[in-house]
A and B are shown apart, each in its own frame.
Chain A
Amino acid sequence: MNESTDDCKINSRVCGEIQNPIPNKHFAVINPSKMCQPMGAVQALLGVRGAMPLIHGSQGCSTYMRFQLCRHFREPVNVSSTSMSEGTVVYGGEANLLKALETIWKEYKVEIIGVTSSCLAETVGDDMGLIIRKFRKKHPDEELPSIVPISTPSYSGSHVDGYDKAIKSLIENLAYSTKPNGKINLITGNISPADIREVKEILELLDIESIILTDSSESLDAPHTDSVSFLPSEGTTVDEIKDTANSKATVSLSRHADSGAKFLEKRFDIKSVSGFLPVGLQSMDGFISSLCRLNECEVPVKLEKERGRLIDAMVDSHTYNYGRKVAIYGDPDVVAALARFTSELGMIPSIVCTGAKSNRFIDDMKIVAEESCSSPVVLEGCDLYDLHQQIKENPVDLLIGNSYGARIAKKENIPLLRMGFPIYDRLGAQRMPIVGYKAGIGLVDMLANTILENYYDESGHEIGSE
Chain B
Amino acid sequence: MSENLSLSALMQEQFPQWVLGTHQYRGDETLLIKREGLLEVCRFLRDDPRTAFNFLMDLTCVDYLTFGKRLESMPTTATPSPLPYFMKPKPVTEQWERTGDRAGTIRAGDRAGNILSGEEVSAAAGPPTEEVPRAAERAAADGARLEVVYHLYSHTRTRRLRLKVPVGAADAVVDSVTGLWKAADWFEREVWDMFGVRFEGHPNLKRILMYEPFDGHPLRKDYPVNKRQPLLGPTN
Q: Specify whether A and B are partners.
A: no
Interface set of A (CB-CB < 8 Å, partner B): none
